[in-house]
Chain A
Amino acid sequence: MNKRSFILGLLVVASSVLSACGSGDNEEATAESSKNVTISLLHRYQESNIGKSPEDTAVLDGLKRFMEDYPNVEIIEEQLQNEDYSIKAQALAAADDMPDVFIVPGSWMTNFVDNEIVLPLNEELEKRPEWRDGYRAGTLDAGTREGQVYGIPIAAGPTHLIYYNDDLFGSIGYDQFPSTWPDLMDAGEKLADKGINLFSYGDKSKGYAMSSWISALTDRINGPQWTESILNGSGAQFTDDGFVHGISMMHELAKAGYLNKDLNSVDADTMVNYYFEGRSAAFVSGIWSAMNIVNNAPEGIAAGTRVAVFPGVEGGLGNPLSSSGGAGVYYSVNSGVEAGEKLDAIMTMLEYMTGSDSAKLMAEVGGFPAYDPGDFDTGKLHPVALAAYEASAAADATKIFDLWFDASIVEVLNTGIQGVMAGSRTPEQLAEETQQAYETFLNNP
């Protein structure tokens, strides 16, 4: 081929690519004209996770049903994976260009409300009381500011459950999960003798300790009033004995060698894998790990897995059965959306995605919906998923710190706890640093 014909060929290819794109746009334009409402939706639920993740399965099923029932509404949907979602949503929020409907993790909520990115939804929910009142107690809370609901919760449930290997605990003489802390430490020692870690632990992503350990442990010792007092600024301090005690308990488990040594450098996936490999007898995680065990654990491990919560602490003020919990992420509406046909369509879509039918489906495939699903078919649930569901429903949900405390305090705790677990900081030092961050926050809220 000579040079001239090569260039000609290149031009032909280029122009055909360009013209193909042009005609695509035209087709879209005609399709748009037959729809009278367009909703843009950005979320972290993915088609590829249907059947693997209860949340993705239920939410996307709801969306599909909505699209079938309302063919006049066009949905411009973008699905992103969890971490990618955070990067993109924060970039879009900074550019003040959020889509009509998007997901807001609880810890972003204050910021989004303060910056008027999200729309208050009370008025709209007022029109749909049946739907609004179907949510489990407390699940709307972290999406509510000064009485106004800014976010519709999707899934709820404990961020603290203990998944343990019954056979391994049986082999050291415990026919159920240790019911006191001395027993737990004793089990840790016996397991260590066999070369097995009591818990596997993975805090690489910073936040695991706070979500699954600190919130629940502190509540065991201090009771929920302490958390309330911190939130109201009415006297409680992070340097209080109870908080230091909770952190010390975690520190002791690490110091005694009952956790994996690489605890700060592995993520939650690896932590669960250590359990699957039999390198640990238990791990602490949220309700979401139940389906991970059902789907991915080796058969013997899945069959031997049971669910528990931390034992009560002697002299503790909290309910020994409680677990940190509530809804973690919310659907919010862009503050630029005006009342009318579009907002109406959005609310209906959210009802489809998070309401009764969707909740039932989520429960049936092993999730814990924020909306109370009522009675549902438990027949298809794996015993581990059922045990996690029952433990979740029975647990008294207490506040998850990272959803409620200001981001500046959360950051100090998330970073500091890594130092404590690695042995480079004492629990007292961490408490002192957190208290300083808290005081700074109180002085300049």
Chain B
Amino acid sequence: MELQLELQTQRSTRRFLPSPAKLAVNALMLLFTASCILPLLWIGYSSLKTQAEFANNILSLPSAPQFGNYLEAIKLTNMLQLSWNSARVTLLSVIGITAISYVTGYITARIDFKGKKVMIFYYLFGMLVPIHALLVPLYLLFKNFGLADQWYTLIIPYIAFNLSLPIMLISSYVTGIPKEIEEAAAIDGLSFSGTMYRIMLPIAIPVLTTVAILQFFSCWNEFSFALVLLNDESLRTVPLGMSYFKSQHSTNYPQLMAGMILSMLPVTIIYFVFSSRIIAGVMAGAVKG
């Protein structure tokens, strides 16, 4: 009896006292976490410093929080206009990407046709082409077709360049859904497109959400196309707006950081709201059923 009790206490203490190996792994993970979170905290409190304070000691806490930096940042960059431009371009692009990649991904997963492999390779190849190599030809193309410098200009390359990964994700997700569901729908008399939209689309919602969220980040943060394809200042997006804080030979870091926090806000909120869905969606596409 006593022995049993002793064993039990041993077991319970063991549960609370992790082994040195576990401790080491946890410590390592904590370090990784800190390396991601500390810079964010640093940006956060640095955005409240004066420029001289920042220059004096870049790590110290602000002595008197300068919320004026945020007002200045909003005024300087016309943040509302930038955000509206970014939001409009990003939302329409994400809708386009999700719609096109669902249809393409579904068809490559379910139908065998001539040239399918070539098509899949073509989409995969899209992930390998560096954007900078395409800036000049793309600029020429847009200019000659009168597509440059319009409110919808960026939507076209954003959709085109962000299709590869979503198509792969959706295709592998759809492959994992049992075919019997579609066969049952066909027996009940549903057409191909009916099956695709009314039966399979709701099942694919998790992966579509993932695709939408991932591409939201990608479009929101895009810089190179926005720089080269737009001339009109009233069309600029948030990443371009960050350059207002830099002059040729100096940078107003506290204001830049205030601007960064403001520009990160929408993306961060979206990430926190949907983070569980993103993870679920990525996992869902990862394992074949």
- Which A positions have Cβ atoms within 8 angstroms of B? 17, 21, 42, 44, 46, 48-49, 52-53, 55-56, 76, 78-82, 84, 87-88, 91-92, 94-95, 97, 268-269, 272-273, 276-277, 286, 288-289, 291-292, 295-299
Q: Does B252 contact A (CB under 8 A)?
A: yes
The binding surface of chain A is classed by DSSP as helix
CB distance from B145 to the nearest CB of A (A): 13
Closest to B250 in A: A292
Please, which residue of chain B has its CB at the minimum distance from the CB of A267? B251
A-B contact pairs, 11 of them (CB 8 A): A17-B151, A49-B247, A55-B248, A82-B248, A88-B227, A95-B143, A276-B55, A288-B248, A292-B249, A296-B51, A298-B52
A79 contacts B233, C-beta separation under 8 Å: yes
Tell me if A21 and B55 are in contact (CB < 8 A). Answer: no
The proximity string for B residues 14-25 relative to A, scoring 1 for CB distances below 8 Å and 0 otherwise, is 000000000000
Contacts of B136 in A (CB 8 A): 91, 94-95
State whether A277 touches B57 (Cβ < 8 A).
yes
Partner of A269, one of B150, B231, B240, B251: B251
Q: Are A52 and B88 in contact (CB under 8 A)?
A: no
**CB neighbours of A268 from chain B (8 A):** 249
Q: Which residues of chain A are within 8 angstroms of B51 by Cβ–Cβ distance?
A: 295-296
Smallest beta-carbon distance B246→chain A, Å: 5
Given contacts A55-B248, A292-B249, contact A276 B143 (CB under 8 A): no
* Alpha-carbon distance between A286 and B249 when the two chains are bound, in angstroms: 10
**Known interface pairs A91-B228, A97-B140, A296-B55. Does A80 touch B247 (Cβ–Cβ under 8 Å)?**
no
Q: For residue B76, which residue of chain A has the nearest CB? A: A48
Residues in B95-125 with C-beta less than 8 Å from chain A: none
B135 within 8 A of A: yes
Contact present for A81 and B228 (CB under 8 Å): no
Q: Does B271 contact A (CB under 8 A)?
A: no
- The interface residues of chain A lying within 8 Å CB-to-CB of B251 are 269
B127 within 8 A of A: no
Residue of B nearest to A55 (CB): B248
- Check B247–A53 contact: CB distance below 8 A: yes
Q: Are A84 and B250 in touch, CB under 8 angstroms?
A: no
A79-B233, A88-B228, A289-B249 as given contacts; A48 in contact with B139, CB under 8 Å = no
Bound CA–CA A277/B60 (angstroms): 12
The chain B residue sitting closest to A81, CB to CB, is B243
Inter-chain contact A48/B227, CB cutoff 8 Å: no
Alpha-carbon gap, A249 to B248, bound state (A): 29
Q: How far is the CA of A46 from the CA of B252 in the complex (A)?
A: 14
B161 at the interface (CB under 8 A from A): no
Q: Is the interface of B mostly helix, strand, loop or mixed?
A: helix
* Chain A residues whose CB sits within 8 angstroms of the CB of B276 once the complex forms: none
CB-based nearest A residue for B52: A298
* Cα-based distance from A17 to B135 in the complex (angstroms): 28
Q: Which of chain B's residues have a CB closer than 8 A to the CB of A94? A: 136
User: Which among B58, B140, B248 has the greatest number of chain A C-beta atoms within 10 A?
Assistant: B248
- A87 with B228, Cβ < 8 A, contacts A81-B243, A277-B57, A298-B55 known: yes
Pick the contact of B139 from A46, A53, A56, A91 — CB < 8 Å?
A91
Q: How far is the CB of B172 from chain A (nearest CB, A)?
A: 29
Central interface residue in B58, B140, B250, B252, by most chain A CB within 10 Å? B250
| Central interface residue in A44, A55, A91, A291, by most chain B CB within 10 Å | A91
Contact B56 A295 (CB under 8 A): no
A296 to B233, CA, bound (A): 28
Contact status A80-B243, CB under 8 Å: yes
B224 at the interface (CB under 8 A from A): yes
Task: Flag whether B274 is at the interface (Cβ < 8 A).
Answer: no
B283, chain A: closest CB distance, angstroms = 29
The answer, yes or no, to whether B244 is at the interface (CB within 8 Å) is: yes
Q: How far does the alpha carbon of A94 sit from the alpha carbon of B51 in the complex, in Å?
A: 39
Contacts A88-B228, A95-B139: A46 and B247 contacting too (C-beta < 8 A)? yes
| Interchain CA distance A53-B244 in the complex, whole Å | 13
Q: Cβ of B245 < 8 Å from any Cβ of A?
A: yes
Greatest chain B CB density within 10 A among A44, A48, A268, A292 is at A48
Contact A56 B56, CB 8 Å, known A48-B76, A78-B233, A97-B140: no
Given A78-B233, A298-B52, decide whether A84 and B243 contact each other with a Cβ distance below 8 A: yes
Contact assessment for B250 and A52 in the assembled complex, using a CB-CB cutoff below 8 Å: yes
Distance of A79 Cα from B248 Cα, bound (Å)? 12
Contacts A17-B88, A21-B151; A78 near B56 (Cβ below 8 A):
no
Expressed in whole angstroms, the minimum distance between the Cβ of B149 and any Cβ of chain A is 10
Q: How far is the CB of A387 from chain B (nearest CB, A)?
A: 17
Alpha-carbon distance between A298 and B51 when the two chains are bound, in angstroms: 9
Closest to A269 in B: B251
Q: Which of B245-275 contact A (CB under 8 A)?
A: 245-252
Residues of B within 8 A of A92 (CB): 139, 228
B171-195, CB < 8 A from A:
none
> How far does the alpha carbon of A79 sit from the alpha carbon of B246 in the complex, in Å?
12
Asked if A82 meets B151 with Cβ closer than 8 Å, knowing A95-B139, A273-B58, A277-B57, the reply is: no
Alpha-carbon separation in the docked complex, A87 to B228 (Å): 8
> Is B244's CB under 8 angstroms from A46's CB?
yes
Chain A nearest CB from B8 CB (Å) reads 56
A55 vs B248: C-alpha distance in the bound complex, in angstroms?
9
A94 to B5, CA, bound (A): 82
- A residues within 8 A CB of B135? 91
Rounded to whole angstroms, the CA-CA distance of A52 and B77 in the bound complex is: 16
**Distance A79 CA – B236 CA, assembled complex (angstroms):** 11
Q: Report Cα–Cα, A130/B224, bound state, in Å.
A: 42
With both beta carbons as reference points, the residue of chain B lying nearest to A78 in the complex is identified as B231
Q: Are A296 and B250 closer than 8 Å at their CB atoms? A: yes
CA distance A92 to B135 in the complex (A): 10
With a cutoff of 8 Å between Cβ atoms, the chain B residues found around residue A289 in the complex are 249
> Contacts of B140 on A, CB cut-off 8 Å?
95, 97
Beta-carbon nearest neighbor of B55 in chain A: A276
Within 8 A of A (CB), among B203-247: 224, 227-228, 231, 233, 240, 243-247
> Roughly how many angstroms separate A355 CA and B55 CA in the complex, as a whole number?
35
Contacts of B233 in A (CB 8 A): 78-79
Complexed CA–CA distance, A48 and B245 (Å): 7
| Nearest CB in chain A to that of B240: its residue | A84
Give CA–CA (A297, B56) in the complex, Å: 7
Q: State the CA gap A286–B248 with chains docked (Å).
A: 12
